[in-house]
C-alpha cells in the first residue's frame, strides 16, 4: 500500500486495494452480475495471458535463425565463412529474455540485444542511424571507400517492434518520410498486442482499435540504408 503512493510506481501496484474496496461494497447476487463477472475475467485473462506482449519469447527464440538466414559478412560472403556481428534493437516491448539466445558460438554469431523500452520514436531513429553505415563515398580513383566505414559498425542491424507502431510507417510505406533508411520485414508473430499503441485521444476509439487489433503482431525487420547514385556523389 505504501509503495503505491510513490509517483514512479505503476497503476498495477494498486491492485491490492481492489479486495479492500470490494469488502466495503455489497455485491448484488444475481445471474447477470455473475455472468458479467465471468465474461470480464475470461476476456481480460485471454487478452493479457495470450496476446499482451505475447510475441517476445517466440521472437527471441527465432532471432538466431533469422540472423543466420539473412546476415552476410562484411565482404558479402554468406554466413559460415566468417563470424558475423549483429545488433538487435527491441523497441516498444518488454525487456527481451537474453538467456533464451543460449550459446551462439556454434552459429558463428555475435548477437547484441539492446532494450529501447520507453524510448520515443525520434530517439529510436537516432540509435538506428548510429548503427547503420552511411552511404559509401568515392575516393580519388572513383572506387567506393567501404573499409573504414564498415569497421565501425556491426555487420547487420535488426529491430523488433510491434506492427501497430505508427512511427514505423515512415520507414515502410511507399512514400517514406525517411528514404535513406529502409525496414525489410523478415518474420512476424500474430499473437501480440501492444497496449502502449492505444491512442484514443489523438486517433479516436474506432481508428485506434482498428490499428492496434487489425495490425496486431510483433515483427523483426532488417534495417538497411538506401543509397542512391545521387547520394553517393554528394
72 is a domain residue: yes
Range of the domain at 200: 51-134+153-225
* Total H helices, total E strands in the chain: 9, 7
Point out the least confidently predicted range of 94-108, 157-171, 212-226: 94-108
Instruction: Tell me how far CA of residue 66 lies from CA of 55, 121, 156, 219, in angstroms.
Output: 15, 24, 11, 11
178 is a domain residue: yes
77 contacts: CB under 8 Å, gap ≥ 6: none
pLDDT of 211 reads 92
pLDDT of 30 reads 84
pLDDT of 179 reads 62
Q: Is the pLDDT of residue 60 over 50?
A: yes
Q: Is the pLDDT of residue 81 over 60?
A: no
pLDDT in tens, 91-144: 999 999 988 886 654 557 788 999 998 899 999 999 998 888 777 655 555 554
Instruction: Name the DSSP class of 81.
Output: S
pLDDT in tens, 187-203: 999 999 998 888 888 88
pLDDT of 231 reads 43
215 is a domain residue: yes
147 is a domain residue: no
pLDDT of 181 reads 85
Q: Is the pLDDT of residue 232 over 50?
A: no
Point out the least confidently predicted range of 41-50, 65-74, 196-205, 216-225: 65-74
HEC assignment per residue over 180-231? CEEEEEEEEECCCECHHHCCHHHHCHHHHHHHHHHCCCEEEEEEEECCCHHH
- Provide the β-strand partners of residue 183: 223
Greater confidence (43 vs 174) lies with 43
40 is a domain residue: no
28 is a domain residue: no
27 is a domain residue: no
46 is a domain residue: no
Q: Which three cell numbers stand for residue 224?
A: 538497411
Residues 68 and 56: their CA atoms lie apart, in Å, by 19
Greater confidence (72 vs 132) lies with 132
**Domains: count for the chain:** 1
Amino acid at each position: 500500500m505504501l509503495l503505491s503512493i510513490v509517483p514512479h510506481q505503476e497503476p498495477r501496484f494498486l491492485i491490492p486495494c481492489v479486495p479492500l474496496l470490494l469488502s466495503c461494497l455489497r455485491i448484488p447476487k444475481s445471474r447477470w452480475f455473475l455472468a458479467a463477472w465471468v465474461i470480464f475475467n475470461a476476456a481480460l485473462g485471454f487478452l493479457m495471458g495470450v496476446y499482451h506482449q505475447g510475441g517476445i519469447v517466440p521472437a527471441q527464440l527465432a532471432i538466431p535463425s533469422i540472423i543466420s538466414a539473412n546476415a552476410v559478412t562484411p565482404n558479402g560472403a554468406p554466413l559460415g565463412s566468417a563470424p558475423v556481428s549483429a545488433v538487435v534493437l527491441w523497441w516498444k516491448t518488454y525487456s527481451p529474455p537474453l538467456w533464451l539466445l543460449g550459446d551462439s558460438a556454434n552459429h558463428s554469431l555475435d548477437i547484441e540485444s539492446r532494450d529501447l523500452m520507453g524510448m520515443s520514436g525520434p530517439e529510436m531513429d537516432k540509435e538506428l542511424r548510429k548503427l547503420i553505415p552511411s552511404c559509401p563515398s568515392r575516393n580519388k580513383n572513383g572506387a567506393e571507400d567501404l573499409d573504414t566505414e564498415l569497421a565501425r559498425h556491426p555487420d547487420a542491424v535488426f529491430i523488433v517492434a510491434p506492427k501497430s507502431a505508427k512511427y514505423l510507417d515512415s520507414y515502410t510505406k511507399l512514400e517514406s518520410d525517411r528514404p535513406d533508411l529502409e525496414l525489410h520485414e523478415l518474420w512476424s508473430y500474430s499473437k501480440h498486442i501492444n497496449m502502449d499503441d492505444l491512442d484514443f485521444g489523438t486517433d479516436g476509439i474506432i481508428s485506434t482499435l482498428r490499428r492496434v487489433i487489425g495490425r496486431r503482431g510483433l515483427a523483426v525487420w532488417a534495417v538497411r540504408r538506401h543509397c542512391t547514385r545521387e547520394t553517393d556523389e554528394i
